[in-house]
Structure 1
């Protein structure tokens, strides 16, 4: 029987690996196209693009692992049913339910990997991706300033350079409107932008120039000359609008629990539920593999089993899981159920459905697929 179990495991792992590779490639390609204006900008190298892909891989793997596993498990068992091997197993006196431990054992292992990805790897990798994309955006900004063209992509500032050579500017004009009550005009013979840390700031460095400042509500006018001046610019929306990862949750388990505890201490129950819901959603997404593993044999060993049926069944189960997950999130936010229970609603419902289908197969006995 061990030989049969190893045989089924091989039949499951091959389509699982193929599905995992295909779905991950699709998601990565979609993300790269969505960030094309950043990742294929003037200040980007192949190393930068490769680093972003590596950092985003755990995030996408967390999404596709359950789906790819369900597809692989249903197709693996379905292949046995399609070739009448499940019928031969029944003729030998074994119900299709005899196959359940194989996808279940594999599912538990995949769920463990998914939990590690969701709770540990993904927050760290998204934070690294955010920092790298921030650097890419900054280098793009440094290279986007064109000679003889006004550049106004930095909120509150307009930059103009008569000549640009390798990121160095000549005969520069800077209009600073970050403080509307005291606009500033700077003129300099040279200037440049420099990255500053991993946040949203850059340093504007000007050489040999003068600053004109006027108070809008008074007649005061200030003129000052300088040999070198440096100003820290906050890119703000110019950076966050381009960096989609900056809008993606990067908090780890400890941060989410601390945020929930702090919100409850302040009496902000809604924010506390939202933080707890985020944490338990990550756990629920990884544990989705368990009911998917239990459903593999009832769906794959069906009389209608086949590759087309396997793909269709996978789609329906994934949609059902998503709808139950959304319903659980709503109940958690409204306080109808504790977040830990509400977000595990898909796992509990689909597991109960799978166990019921397995029980039916056991009751029907060795003739379950005849």
Structure 2
């Protein structure tokens, strides 16, 4: 049995490493494509970019580790089932219960790893990411515009210049629309402007000459003429979601979240919405890591019961069940932040539901019986074939 457990554990580790590498690579590549315009316009080196994405890795690992755990367990037992290894072990008196120590130990390790990321790694990664990005912005960044194109790199601000000289910073026929001001819209039009970078303060100033300012507030429109006018931009806002000044609940450590829940007066924002986000994030950090253990155990009966199906169908089924879990989890997070449901109930509900299915599923799989819902689906499939 030690040899069997060792072999199962090795296969689980191999599949887990491969799954995490593939999913993490796809996410990072997608993120790079999303921010390609930022990296092309800023003087940031390739290794600096890799460093930034390294600091984002804990955030992505918190999301992909549960699915990697589930897929590793599912694919391992599905292969053993397809190769009739489970049947041979059953014939030699090895029940499914005796094979559980290896996947349980694997799922527990994945759960502990995810707990470490949830409690400390996530906050460390986000803090280092913001610090490094701000340092790059202060020491290397420059602001580049494309001529004849509406540039929307800064949230709430739209730039347009008919002619652009990025070497000298000279602009011709410039149009700027600023929608970052609440309740008002400001449009600046000028025949010429100049870009002035300030790396020490991580700011960019666009200085307009001899233009007009159109300010609309409600139904009122004001028009002002000016000789010189400057618009200040913070390079830290290039990524939008990563603000240097605003402290968000998802970037805090678990200890900080617990302290705010115990004493709301120390919260950086004294609003009901922020406190709801803190409460939701607190239970999210507790329940999501447990998803590794729960989904891993849930994958065993899925692979065992559906051994008669083709592998691609079983894989699609497992992915569908995982997406159902994440949909329920995401819906609970949204409802918790909106105050529609208490996070303690909404975020624990998916785990409790899948625990019940996993327990009954393993019991039925050990008895080589199909779940009643599977028998019902098979009956419907048979009736559909007869009708067709």
Fold equivalence (TM over 0.5): yes
How far is the alpha carbon of 1:347 from its aligned partner? 1.4
1:307 aligns to what? 311
Max radius of gyration: which structure?
A: 1
SS where residue 141 of structure 1 aligns?
Answer: coil
How far is the alpha carbon of 1:327 from its aligned partner? 4.5
1:252 aligns to what? 253
Match of 1:240 among 227, 237, 242: 237
TM-score normalised by L of structure 1 = 0.72
1:262 aligns to what? 264
CA distance in 1 between partners of 2:24 and 2:141 (Å): 27
Q: Does 1:87 align with 2:90?
A: no
| Alignment of structure 1 residues 74-113 onto 2, 5 Å | 74-113=74-113
| Alignment of structure 1 residues 311-322 onto 2, 5 Å | 311-322=315-326
Q: Deviation digits for residues 287-306 of structure 1, max 9, x if unmatched?
A: 11111121232112223365
2:73 aligns to what? 73
2:7 aligns to what? 7
Match of 2:287 among 284, 287, 290: 284
Q: Deviation digits for residues 194-241 of structure 1, max 9, x if unmatched?
A: 3235xxx427699xxxxxxxxxxxxxxxx9xxxxxxx994427xx425
CA distance in 2 between partners of 1:325 and 1:175 (Å): 44
CA distance in 2 between partners of 1:162 and 1:329 (Å): 45
1:49 aligns to what? 49
How far is the alpha carbon of 1:113 from its aligned partner? 0.8
Q: Deviation digits for residues 149-198 of structure 1, max 9, x if unmatched?
A: xx998879999x99876xx779xxx9999999xx9x9x9xx99523235x
Q: Deviation digits for residues 326-353 of structure 1, max 9, x if unmatched?
A: 4433664576764234312211110111
How far is the alpha carbon of 1:252 from its aligned partner? 2.2
2:363 aligns to what? 359
CA distance in 2 between partners of 1:93 and 1:157 (Å): 73
CA distance in 1 between partners of 2:164 and 2:99 (Å): 74
How far is the alpha carbon of 1:96 from its aligned partner? 2.0
SS where residue 193 of structure 1 aligns?
Answer: strand
Q: Does 1:32 align with 2:36?
A: no
Alpha-carbon spacing, 1:317–1:194, altered in 2? closer, same or farther (3 Å): same
CA distance in 2 between partners of 1:205 and 1:354 (Å): 60
Unaligned runs of 5+ in 1: 207-222, 224-230
1:347 aligns to what? 351
How far is the alpha carbon of 1:317 from its aligned partner? 2.1
**Number of aligned residue pairs:** 343
How far is the alpha carbon of 1:99 from its aligned partner? 1.9
CA distance in 2 between partners of 1:329 and 1:177 (Å): 35
How far is the alpha carbon of 1:323 from its aligned partner? 2.9
State the superposition RMSD in angstroms: 4.7
How far is the alpha carbon of 1:313 from its aligned partner? 3.0
SS where residue 41 of structure 2 aligns?
Answer: coil
How far is the alpha carbon of 1:68 from its aligned partner? 1.2
1:273 aligns to what? 276
